[in-house]
Amino acid sequence: KLSDRLNAVANNIPEGARLADIGSDHAYLPCYVVKKGTVPKAIAGEVANGPFQSALEQVKEEDLTDWITVRKGDGLEVIEPGEVDCITIAGMGGTLISSILEKGKSKLEGVSRLVLQPNVGSFAVRRWLIDNGWELISEEILKEDGKIYEILIAEKGEPLNAYHEINLENGILFGPFLLRDRSAVFIEKWNAEVKNWQRILKQLDGAVQNDETDGKRKELKKKLEMAEEA
């Protein structure tokens, strides 16, 4: 059984899309969607040897080698331009996800949907999408095993559409759809963040004052103001 997190990613892969799952680890996601019949074929990309071997084994074990190709390589270098319709990147930090997209830009031509699940730092992903002509079409937030995950779904379009009538900076940090929904999980996540920021701020107040601590304090105060406003 797939985790709720990967299941939520899977549910946002369009029916019939050719898929590339980048940073696939055990290739659980491509195996699941191919078996389910959601996608006709998939590529599982992995940069690290251990996870690459796990992916190969899993695909073999599930008898899916005719439908899933496991490729070793950095980010989007494992796909050819025009080869896939949908790319999933899950379970990494937002900065890493955006750097994979940035480095692989030339491979995104012809890709119609991105399903991205940053574990932390989703703002970096939203920023990249805006800067590169991708429109956020929906977002999800969920809690599993005590951890909170966000899923960002984007298609080529008008990047600022999603931020209509929302302060852009707030939207990028909190997620425009998540901010409008204000689900219980969303509130829980940001209450915990606020508590954490307040704790760090308190520590900084007791620490030596220099440019660095001043800068950090300013940044935290700004985030706290944003959270309050939101």
Which chain residues interact with ligand SAM by CB under 6 A? 6, 22-25, 45-48, 51, 74-75, 90-92, 96, 100
Q: How far is the CB of 219 from ligand SAM (least distance, A)?
A: 27
- Which residue in the block uniquely carries the two structure tokens 């940044």? 219
- What would the two tokens of residue 224 be? 């706290």
Q: How far is the CB of 145 from ligand SAM (least distance, A)?
A: 13
Q: How far is the CB of 201 from ligand SAM (least distance, A)?
A: 30
b/e 55-69 (16+ beta carbons within 10 angstroms → b)? bbebbeebebeebbb
What 180-183 contacts at long range (C-beta under 8 Å, 24+ apart), as own/partner pairs, is 181/141, 183/141
Q: How far is the CB of 142 from ligand SAM (least distance, A)?
A: 13
**For ligand SAM, which is the closer residue by CB, 101 or 136?**
101
**For ligand SAM, which is the closer residue by CB, 74 or 158?**
74
* Amino acid occupying residue 45: G
**For ligand SAM, which is the closer residue by CB, 90 or 129?**
90
CB 143 within 8 A of CB 115: no
**For ligand SAM, which is the closer residue by CB, 97 or 179?**
97
Q: How far is the CB of 15 from ligand SAM (least distance, A)?
A: 21
**For ligand SAM, which is the closer residue by CB, 154 or 162?**
154
Phi, psi dihedral angles at 199 (to 5 degrees): -65, -45
Q: How far is the CB of 43 from ligand SAM (least distance, A)?
A: 11
Q: What is the DSSP string of 1-33?
A: ---HHHHHHHTTSPTT--EEEES-TTTHHHHHH
SS3 assignment, position 63: coil
Alpha helices, DSSP H only, in the chain?
Answer: 4-10, 28-36, 49-61, 94-103, 122-131, 168-174, 176-181, 184-206, 211-229
**For ligand SAM, which is the closer residue by CB, 22 or 130?**
22
CA distance 30 to 59: 9
